[in-house]
Amino acid sequence: MLHKKIATLLTVLIAVLVLTACGGSTESKIIGSWKAVVNGESGQYIEIGEERLINRSENMSAEYILTETQSDTFMIEIINPEDGVPFHFFEGYFEGKDRIIVVQMMGEPIDNAEFIRVDNIEEEKEKDAKAQREAEEKNHAAEDVERKKEQEEQEEVVTDEAETVKVNDDELERFNAESEYIMELIDEGKLGEAKERLNLLTASITSEEYISSIRAMDDMIESAKYEKEQERKSPDYSSLKEEYAHKARILDEDVEQKYKGDIAIGLFGDYFDEWDGLLNEVWGVLADTMPKDKFEQLKKEQVKWIQEKDADYEEARGEIDAKDRLTNKTRERTYYLIENYLD
C-alpha cells in the first residue's frame, strides 16, 4: 500500500513539473504584442497569436512557423499568403519574458535590435509618435536658429562686398528672371525641377552678392520637400480603400518624379518588387477583412491570375520590355483589388 501511494505521488509530481515547463515554453512566451527597436529607435509593431502574426504598422497578416534551433535561439518564418512559401522573418532569444534579442532579420545578421513586449500597441504608437514629433520639433528649432544665424552672417558679408563690387546689369537681370521662374516652380510643387534650375543658376553666377538669395530659395525648396514628405507619411484616411489607393498613387508619383514622365523601355521593370510588395500587402488586408466564402472565391481567381501572369512572363522572357509588362500587370492587379474589394 505504501509503495502504491508513493508511486501515485510521483506521478502527480511529474505531471505538475511537465505543466510548469510547458507554461514557460517559447510557444507560450511569444504570444502577445511587441514593438521592434533598432539602435534605440522604434520601428514596426507586431501582434503574435497562436497561429498568425499581424504587422500592425503595415496592416499585414500571415501564418507563421516557430522553430527552436540548436544554438538556444528560436526562429520565426512567415508563410507567404500568395504562394504558401515560408520566408525568414527573424531569429532571436528571450532575455526575460518581455524582451527578445534579435540576432538575424530577414536572414541577415543584425546588431542592436530587439522586440519589447507592450500592453497596448495603439497607446505605444501614440507615445512613440509624440516623442518623435517633439524630437523633430526640437531639431527643426535648432536648425532654424542656425540657419538664421548663417543668413544674417551671409547678409553682412554680401553687404560689405556690395560696397566694393559693381553689379553686372546683365547678370542681375538674368538672376531676377530665373529667380522668379524658380519661385513659380516651388509654388506649383515642382520641387525637383526647381532644384535643378537653382543649381544651374548657382553655377552660372559669378558675383557672390546673390549667395544669400540663392540659399534662401534652396531653404524654401528643402522646406517644401519636408512638408510634402510629412503629408505622405501621415495622411488621414477614412477607409482602407482610400489608404491603399493613396499608397499606389505615391508609388506612381515616385516613378513619374524620377523620370519626369519619360521612362525608357526596360526601366519600369525596376519597380516590380515595389508593386509586388504592395500587392501582397493588399492581399493580406483582404484575407483579414473579407468574408471567408468570398475570400475563398477571390483566392481561386488570384491563383488563376498568377498562373497566367507567370506564363506570359515566361513566354516573353528575353524581350527587352518583358519585365516592364510583368510589372505593369502587377500594378493593374493591385489597383483592381483596391478598387473592387477593399472597403
Q: How far apart are CA 218 and CA 212, in angstroms?
A: 10
On whether residue 103 sits in a domain, the answer given is yes
Q: Are residues 220 and 246 in the same domain?
A: no
**Predicted pLDDT at 204:** 84
Q: Is residue 300 part of a domain?
A: yes
State the residue for C-alpha cell 542592436.
112
The C-alpha angle with vertex 209 and arms to 206 and 214, in degrees rounded to 5, equals 85
pLDDT at 114: 95
Range of the domain at 102: 31-119
Same domain, 288 and 262: yes
> Do residues 60 and 54 make contact, with C-beta atoms less than 8 angstroms apart?
yes
CB 35 within 8 Å of CB 56: no
Q: Which of 219, 155, 220, 158 is nearest to 187 (CA)?
A: 220
Number of folded domains in the chain?
A: 3
Contacts of 241 (CB under 8 A, 6+ apart): 338, 339, 342, 343
- pLDDT at residue 45 in the model: 92
Does residue 19 fall inside a structural domain?
Answer: no
Same domain, residue pair 189 and 255: no
Considering the domain boundaries, does residue 170 fall inside one? Answer: yes
Q: What is the pLDDT of residue 24?
A: 60
Q: Are residues 326 and 245 in the same domain?
A: yes
- Residue 186 burial (CB count, 10 A): 19
Please tell me whether residues 245 and 315 are part of one structural domain.
Answer: yes
Task: Clarify whether residues 110 and 204 are in a common domain.
Answer: no
Residues 114 and 68 in one domain: yes
The answer to whether residue 227 is domain-embedded is yes
Cα separation, 118 vs 36, in Å, equals 10
Picking from 211, 231, 251, the residue at the C-terminal end of a domain is: 231
What is the reported pLDDT for 32?
92
Domain C-terminal end among 231, 254, 288 = 231
Same domain, residue pair 213 and 243: no
Is 61 inside a domain boundary? Answer: yes
CA distance 109 to 275: 27
Q: What is the DSSP string of 78-137?
A: EEPTTT--EEEEEEEEESSSSEEEEEEETTEEEEEEEEEEES-HHHHHHHHHHHHHHHHH
Domain assignment of residue 199, yes or no: yes
Cα 325 from Cα 132, distance rounded (Å): 41
Assess whether 159 and 68 both reside in one domain.
Answer: no
* Region of residue 261 (phi > 0: left; psi between -120 and 50: alpha; otherwise: beta): left
Average pLDDT of each block of 10 consecutive residues along the chain (343 residues)?
Answer: 41 34 70 92 89 86 91 91 89 93 92 93 87 87 88 75 60 87 84 84 82 88 77 71 89 76 74 91 93 93 93 86 89 93 89
Q: Of 231, 257, 272, which residue is a domain's last?
A: 231
- Whether 167 is in a domain gets the answer yes
Q: What is the pLDDT of residue 234?
A: 56
* Whether 334 and 242 share a structural domain: yes
